[in-house]
Amino acid sequence: MRNAIKDIQDKKDHGQKITMLTAYDYQIASLADDSGIDMILVGDSLANVVMGLDSTKEVGMEEMLHHARAVTRAVKKAMVVADMPFGAYQTNTGQAATQAKRFIHEAGCDAVKIEWFDDCLAVLAAIIKEGIPVMGHVGLTPQTVEDLGGYKVQGREQESAEKIIEQARSLEYNGCFSLVLECIPQELGEIITNILHIPTISCGAGVFCDGQVLVTNDMLGLTIRHTPKFVKPYADLKDRIMEGMLAYRKEVEAGLFPDDAHSYHLEPQVKERLREKYPNDKGRLV
């Protein structure tokens, strides 16, 4: 059985940290699940990480569903949360609810995540009315990054900090089961975590949040582009992969791979008969 809202809330209530990572495919989702991660996010960071796009706004519903299905095929224990992609929920509440349902019914996800924007509370209400758990996302919200002055720490000043606190409170009040706090000062993360009853998940919001999420590819040292200050690499997969690929290329070029241990063989009589029937005479075929 996958983790439910109660399991996640119980962790906050018992002072236990909640762990979350992104996944976009079957293999990484299997490993994350086996490692005991509590929640797996099919993030719209798919756009940057997997598809090489510049903005999360460029990923659409069909791509998100495709990857969400691969993830849910693998996950047995973690709660699977899917990001509602830009354009799938901002325009009207009916469309938002319809698209959210697709993540549950067509892709087997357990919940969806929405980023804060001006009319997000109406959207939140429409999705919750369908019985779908919603995670909120405040602070640096990449889908509206242009309105926030770019990719930079949010809520450093009194006024902007209060704005984020009020957004967090209203998302809790209107039914979110948890909130991602992205790229805000640690002290603000602590204040929000202490005010809210629902769990806060830090993504560059410091150690006092109830849990932590990172983009898995960043955390494994796989990312080719810039990684933010709040990312800690726990492995150096980029270097390891490059070592493997270079070694493979060299062995193939030198005729060392495939060797006997990685090849199949004919029975000697079959080989002989085939050789007689098909002599090594390339010229004949021309």
Task: List residues with catalytic annotation.
Answer: 182
Q: What distances in angstroms separate CA 132 from CA 97, 111, 119, 187, one per listed residue? A: 9, 6, 18, 31
Interface residue with ligand KIV, options 203, 209, 220, 222 (CB under 6 A): 203
Q: At what angle do helices 61-74 and 26-34 cross, to 10 degrees?
A: 40
Query: Which pairs from 12-21 meet CB under 8 Å and 24+ separation?
Result: 12/198, 12/199, 12/210, 17/210, 17/211, 17/212, 18/178, 18/199, 18/201, 18/210, 18/211, 18/212, 19/211, 19/212, 20/81, 20/201, 20/211, 20/212, 20/213, 21/213, 21/214, 21/215, 21/216, 21/219
Q: Which residue in the set 28, 37, 40, 43 belongs to the binding site for ligand KIV (CB under 6 A)?
A: 43
Residue 111 lies near ligand KIV (rule: CB under 6 A): no
With respect to ligand KIV, which residue has the nearer C-beta, 66 or 275?
A: 66
Query: At closest approach, how far in Å is the CB of 244 from ligand KIV?
Result: 26
Applying CB under 6 A, does 202 fall inside the site for ligand KIV? no
Q: Assess 37 for contact with ligand KIV (CB under 6 A).
A: no
The stretch near ligand KIV (CB under 6 A) out of 39-47, 58-66, 258-266, 267-275 is 39-47
Instruction: By CB under 6 A, name the one of 107, 114, 134, 213 that touches ligand KIV.
Output: 213
180 in contact with ligand KIV (CB under 6 A):
yes
How many residues in the shown chain lie near ligand KIV by CB under 6 A? 11
Mode of pairing for the β-strands spanning 134-139 and 79-83: unpaired
β strands within 146-273, DSSP E: 178-182, 200-203, 211-214
Stretch that binds ligand KIV, among 37-45, 128-136, 163-171, 249-257 (CB under 6 A): 37-45
22 belongs to the binding site for ligand KIV (CB under 6 A): yes
Closest distance to ligand KIV from the beta carbon of 47 (Å): 8
Is there binding between residue 33 and ligand KIV (CB under 6 A)?
no
Q: What share of the chain is helix, strand, coil (3-state, %, to 5)?
A: 45, 15, 40
Contact residues toward ligand KIV (CB under 6 A) are 22, 41, 43-45, 83, 180, 182, 203, 213, 215
